[in-house]
């Protein structure tokens, strides 16, 4: 059985298994591998992300947590951890960040959360009136739905995916303070 089905990514978050795997490497030295467990401390900094591309194509990169505040009670819907559109190839720095990267921040005793990375091939460059969100703000991040967002932007199904799981560690306190100071 595919890990994406085993851990409910398909059909909870996306409808089908993407053909390609994202390579995600963090500055801490860890790498994402279809549901492996990483700590918030290990994933606090923006990773390097790569995927197979088509020449001249543009992509959207998403990172979402569907398990807030816990996997058994996801009352906040998905939390948007990272969203960048109009990426030429895999050069994320040349894309347009709608939500800057924030690492994992699961509450204490909420168990494992899934952190899912998805890449969509765009039909072309597109504009949006969404206000960009910095990595110091929660604005627009809660109760988000990647499936609905992709549908509204005519992105179809993702072409690549990967994910890890994380649970609370002491770094979460630092992240929360960073996000609280933005209010």
- Could you tell me the sign of the dihedral formed by the alpha carbons of 137, 66, 33, 176, in that order? positive
- Domains, in order of start, for the chain: 3-180 (3.90.280.10)
Question: pLDDT of 72-99, one tens digit each?
Answer: 776 777 999 999 999 999 999 999 999 9
The per-residue pLDDT for 182 is 58
Q: What is the pLDDT along the chain (183 residues), one digit of tens a residue?
A: 899 999 999 999 999 999 999 999 999 999 999 999 999 999 999 999 999 999 999 999 999 999 987 787 767 779 999 999 999 999 999 999 999 999 999 999 999 999 999 999 999 999 999 999 999 999 999 999 999 999 999 999 999 999 999 999 999 999 999 887 654
């Amino acid at each position: 059985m595919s890990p994406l089905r085993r851990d409910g990514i398909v059909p909870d978050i996306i409808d089908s298994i993407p053909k390609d795997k994202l390579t995600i490497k963090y500055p801490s030295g860890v790498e994402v591998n279809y549901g492996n467990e990483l700590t918030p401390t290990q994933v606090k900094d923006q990773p390097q992300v790569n995927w197979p591309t088509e020449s001249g194509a543009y992509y959207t990169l998403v990172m979402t947590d569907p398990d807030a505040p816990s996997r058994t009670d996801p009352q906040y819907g998905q939390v948007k951890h990272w969203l960048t559109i109009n990426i030429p190839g895999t050069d994320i720095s040349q894309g347009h960040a709608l939500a800057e990267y924030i690492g994992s921040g699961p509450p204490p005793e909420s168990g494992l959360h899934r952190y899912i990375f998805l890449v969509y091939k765009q039909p072309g460059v597109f504009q949006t009136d969404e206000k960009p969100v910095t990595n110091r703000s929660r604005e627009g991040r809660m109760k988000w739905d990647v499936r609905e967002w992709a549908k509204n932007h005519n992105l179809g199904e993702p072409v690549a995916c990967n994910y890890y799981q994380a649970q609370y560690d002491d770094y979460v306190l630092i992240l929360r303070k960073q996000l609280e100071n933005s209010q």
